[in-house]
Amino acid sequence: MTCVSRRNLLCAMGGAVVGGFMGIGPLSAALPEMQGQATWTAHSLDADECEPYAYAGYWNQGYGCCYGTFYSIVGVMGLKHGAPYNQFPFHIMEVGKSGISDWGTICGALLGAASAMALFWGRKERDPMVTDLFRWYEQTAFPLYDPGQDAQGVQGEIPGHACGSVLCHVSVSSWSFATGIPAASKTRSERCARITADVARKAIEIMNAKIGGRFAPVYGKPESLTYCGECHDKEKEAPFLKGRQECTPCHSGTEHTQNKFTGHP
């Protein structure tokens, strides 16, 4: 058996990689030229029909909110129109569960809806749609949807709360604090399942309006973002601002957004 030194092995690997890249030319040449154009055609959907799919999708094998919302849009198109919609590997959307693999970042229901929109519209057309959906989410007291006797978590009314944020962590935590219901409870899971249906409905309404040439943003920039932007936007005195989120949940200066790592009881 021939002994290969680490140095020679690394050199050989480096040569293979460089040679491979040289063989195909610049990396950009290997990338598809999408040019922001959608390759699939969007079809109008009935939000009343899709809401139950979103709700059930949340509970399906524990896949969660991102899967539920995405399937209620693209999956239902597959049920009605066949390929290519029914050929999508829907299970990959499970990654958005609980704010992406339980990290509590973007609400998975929003990620699923935005991803569905991205199948049909490029960035310039899609961004205003996503922004309107996200603004609506910030301002709406959830949940709205009620599955009635088909509830898979708990039945009956669940208290609503407008969280002011598109982040899973803030959405769940602020609701739990406002209602006194533990974040790890079955009721909270039921809340998120219903919100999955709520987001699906709103996303479908926006998409239908876009398809019909009737879409116009409804929700404007929040006052806090305008106020903070006076100093922190691009080319301002302290240009540190990145993003479009409502500022107050994390920067309101209340006792709940102060330093909790020093002298916390």
Q: What is the pLDDT of residue 64?
A: 98
- For residue 92, CA distances in Å to 63, 67, 102, 187, 201 come to 9, 8, 15, 26, 22
Q: Both tokens of residue 209?
A: 């309006």
49-97 pLDDT per residue, tens: 999 999 999 999 999 999 999 999 999 999 999 999 999 999 999 999 9
Digit-coded pLDDT (tens) for 18-40: 444 344 456 666 666 554 444 79
Which pTM does this prediction carry? 0.81
Give the start-to-end residue ranges of the domains of the chain: 47-211, 223-248
The residue assigned the tokens 């239908």 is 208
pLDDT of residue 251: 65
Q: What is the pLDDT of residue 242?
A: 61
**Where is pLDDT greater, at 213 or 1?**
213
What is the predicted pLDDT for the residue at 75?
98
- The alpha-helical segments, DSSP class H, found in the chain are 6-24, 47-59, 65-70, 76-81, 108-118, 123-139, 168-179, 186-211, 223-232, 248-251
Q: Give which of 156, 143, 240 is closest to 194, Cα–Cα.
A: 143
pLDDT confidence tier of residue 218, bands split at 50, 70 and 90: confident
Residue 182: pLDDT band with limits 50, 70, 90: very high
pLDDT digits (tens, 9 = 90+) for 94-121: 999 999 999 999 999 999 999 999 999 9
CB 159 within 8 A of CB 174: no
Q: What b/e sequence results for 165-197 when a residue is b if at least 16 CB atoms lie within 10 Å of its CB, and e otherwise? A: bbbbbbbbbbbbeeeebeeeeebbbbbbbbbbb
Average pLDDT of the chain is 84
